[in-house]
Structure 1
């Protein structure tokens, strides 16, 4: 299975270990992984801020960079959700409409690709500790992922997974939302931390480092003591 990986901007700049762990997991699952170092952003920040013209330029580059990929896999439901759900709208009634639709069909978040394409859920990982899981809005609502991450985590030896209250409620990040509506964003993050800490978990796991970055900021401000981990970090542990 030939796979091209897409590494989102903030992971490239702030959390590169997540990308390395994704490669490790994909190779363990039998994939031949390729990385096109011409890749940049998926275009989501500009699009969400209302700069559709600028976003289209970035998205056009994405189409070109990944045109030959059989599968595109990313450690971010947010970026994949954008490519899947908004590229076709952005390029509607243009010469690139067909390309946008096709590339959306070939783009997958990591857990989605492992479980639903490769049909692999046990990677031999082991991670000892008690954890709770955060459903990112993008994973849950845009990529329709709920059970896939949990299915993978259930096979991790030594991991106790417990559910928090209001698990499907937004963490409050939302990209520029956290900047434009800071008090609301912080309150939502605090609520997520409160619910996570109430489970007695040591770790909070998600498919999206963007959510985890925001949650971790609230967590450190409250001295809640939780550690945040991307799903790839857990699946790459113990082997």
Structure 2
């Protein structure tokens, strides 16, 4: 399968190791991966701030750039959700079969639902606390929302179960927001930080060495709390664990 790798702008700028791990992991499970060098922001920050005209230009560019791929895969639930749900409203003369939103996947759901690897040949001998990001849980079904009172499932946990040596825990209130929320963290800084501290403390209560999840934005927010308060825990994106070599 031919995959166009979509790396969100903040990952490209701040967490390039997540982009590299995503590319390597997809190739390890048998995908033909291409990384279009001309890609830019998907347009989510502009759209969230109310600048739809600017967001539309980004959407048109991304739609054209990724047109030739069978699948478009990215390591960010929030960006992928924006493309899926936002592009049909932003793009002119929208036709579903011709648009990238019909072919875009978050990397963990792509591995879990499309590739379905029997094994990953990965090793990570550490205890991790699994972070469920809001977009991944409630807009992408990466795990089941607690408020629905349905049987619990987690695609992230299923993938981590293939990693040798790992111990996976989940915090109390496992799908409660960490406080990042994109524009929310800028507009409501004090509330955002308080939520982040509460979330990190619950992850630490599991006894984990690392907090892991599928959204670098959430991990970045919590790492800011960790660094500021000098806490004995670290964050790591799930693709870095899944790509860790035996």
TM-score in terms of structure 2 length: 0.93
Stretches of structure 2 lacking an aligned partner (at least 5 in a row): 144-153
Q: Distance in 1 between matches of 2:140 and 2:90?
A: 18
Gapped regions of structure 1 (runs ≥ 5): none
Decide whether the 8 Å contact of 1:72 with 1:107 is kept in 2. Answer: yes
How many Å apart are 1:121 and its aligned residue?
5.4
- C-alpha distance in structure 2 between counterparts of 1:61 and 1:114, whole Å: 26
Provide the secondary structure at the position in 1 that maps to 2:25.
Answer: helix
Of 126, 130, 146, which aligns to 2:127?
Answer: 130
Q: Distance in 2 between matches of 1:69 and 1:32?
A: 10
Rounded to whole Å, the distance in 2 between the matches of 1:130 and 1:7 is 27
Looking at structure 2, the residues matched to 237 and 221 of structure 1 have their Cα atoms a distance apart, in angstroms, of 28
- Partner of residue 8, structure 1: 8
| Counterpart in the other structure of 1:68 | 68
Alignment RMSD (CA, Å) = 1.3
* Rounded Cα–Cα distance in structure 1 between residues aligned with 2:66 and 2:238: 24
- How much does 1:102 deviate? 3.8
3-state DSSP class of the match of 1:135? coil
- Counterpart for residue 117 of structure 1: 114
Shift of 1:112: 0.6
Give me the whole-angstrom Cα distance separating, in 2, the residues matched to 1:82 and 1:164: 27
Contact 1:177 1:185 in 2 (8 A): yes
Q: After the TM superposition, which parts of structure 1 deviate over 3 Å for at least 4 consecutive aligned residues?
A: 99-102
Cα distance in 1 for residues equivalent to 2:50 and 2:118:
39
CA contact (8 A) 1:114 1:121 kept: no
Matches within 5 A, 1:42-191: 42-91=42-91, 94-95=92-93, 97-99=94-96, 102-120=99-117, 122-146=119-143, 147-191=154-198
Cα distance in structure 2, aligned partners of 1:101 and 1:86: 15
How many Å apart are 1:46 and its aligned residue? 0.2
Q: Is 2:22 the counterpart of 1:37?
A: no
Task: Summarize deviations over 1:65-122 as a string: whole Å, max 9, x none.
Answer: 111111000011111011111111223xx31x11587421210011111110111252
Q: How many pairs align?
A: 236
Question: Aligned-pair distance for 1:162?
Answer: 0.8
1:25 match: 25
Secondary structure class of the residue paired with 1:128 = coil
Q: What is the deviation of 1:175? A: 1.3
